[in-house]
Structure 1
């Protein structure tokens, strides 16, 4: 199942379960994907990598918006932005922890001499 198909099925499930934040966030993601697909000279289907790029961009927007709302004193809006960011993060590939990254770097250094 492609990532876009998973988003669509999760949207249906979120609507059925009346999960407002999740359904609105997934709608926003799907809209961003569609906008990316139709931008440019001709419409095209995005690859999984391009969809992940869109998701990463949207997650970054949510983090920045949450910080801005915190600085402006709108803690409720900041919390909503964080919730949306967490939902988006569930569709992104897992990030390496610092320890895992250090281990990979050490292995690469030792193997190359």
Structure 2
């Protein structure tokens, strides 16, 4: 598998050559975030694949939240741009799990954690998040885990 950070650098160069403004500004922002993360963690070299995926997920989440805020104040054009950036960034994330696959992982994690109800949310979430590693959004995981734990008490 090609290194994700290298792929992003290559795409940045291609966006410059092709004068794709939205991709170019988004990738520049992403590269700046890589540099900041390396500086914060004292990395001499590259970030790990998991760190890169985690960083991209955080940026996607920020873009979606910003879009919600822009929509709330009737700034539809700004919201649309944030959503376009989020969709573009998502192309660098691993393929997302289907609802069925996520449900299976939640059930397995629940069984491992010996979950009995909603009070076991933290234990199950920890196991599920470790298992999905960037292949499912945290909100989606939380909803699935809540549904699963609620079904145990009914």
Whether TM exceeds 0.5 here: the answer is: yes
* Larger Rg computed on CA atoms: 2
Counterpart of 1:72 in structure 2 is 73
What is the deviation of 1:98? 0.8
Structure with more relative contact order (C-alpha pairs < 8 Å, separation 6 or more): 1
CA–CA distance in structure 1, aligned partners of residues 43 and 102 of structure 2: 38
Displacement after TM superposition at 1:24 (Å)? 0.5
Structure 1 partner of 2:137: none
* 2:101 matches 1:100: yes
State how far apart, in whole Å, the 2-side matches of 1:14 and 1:3 are.
Answer: 16
Task: Give every structure 1 segment of 4 or more consecutive aligned residues whose post-TM-superposition deviation is greater than 6 Å.
Answer: none
Q: Report the count of equivalent residues.
A: 108
Relative to the length of structure 1, the TM-score reads 0.86
Quick one: structure 1 residues 34 and 103, their matched pair in 2 at CA, closer, same or farther if it must change by over 3 Å? Answer: same
- For residue 100 of structure 1, report the CA deviation from its aligned partner: 2.8
Deviation at 1:102, TM superposition (A): 3.2
How far residue 14 of structure 1 moved from its aligned partner, in angstroms, is: 1.1
Whole-angstrom distance in 2 between the partners of 1:72 and 1:11: 32
Other-structure match for 1:52: 53
Encode CA deviations 1:25-68: one digit per residue, 9 max, x unaligned.
0111111011000014x343310100111101100000000000
Give the Å deviation of 1:103. Answer: 4.8
* Alignment partners' CA distance in 2, 1:84 and 1:23: 11
Q: Report the 3-state secondary structure (helix = DSSP H, G, I; strand = E; otherwise coil) of the residue aligned with 1:39.
A: helix
TM-score (norm 2): 0.64
RMSD: 1.9
Unaligned runs of 5+ in 2: 113-154
- Tell me the distance in 2 between the aligned counterparts of 1:105 and 1:28: 34
Q: 1:71–1:32: structure 2 CA closer, same or farther, 3 Å change rule?
A: same
Aligned to 2:88: 87
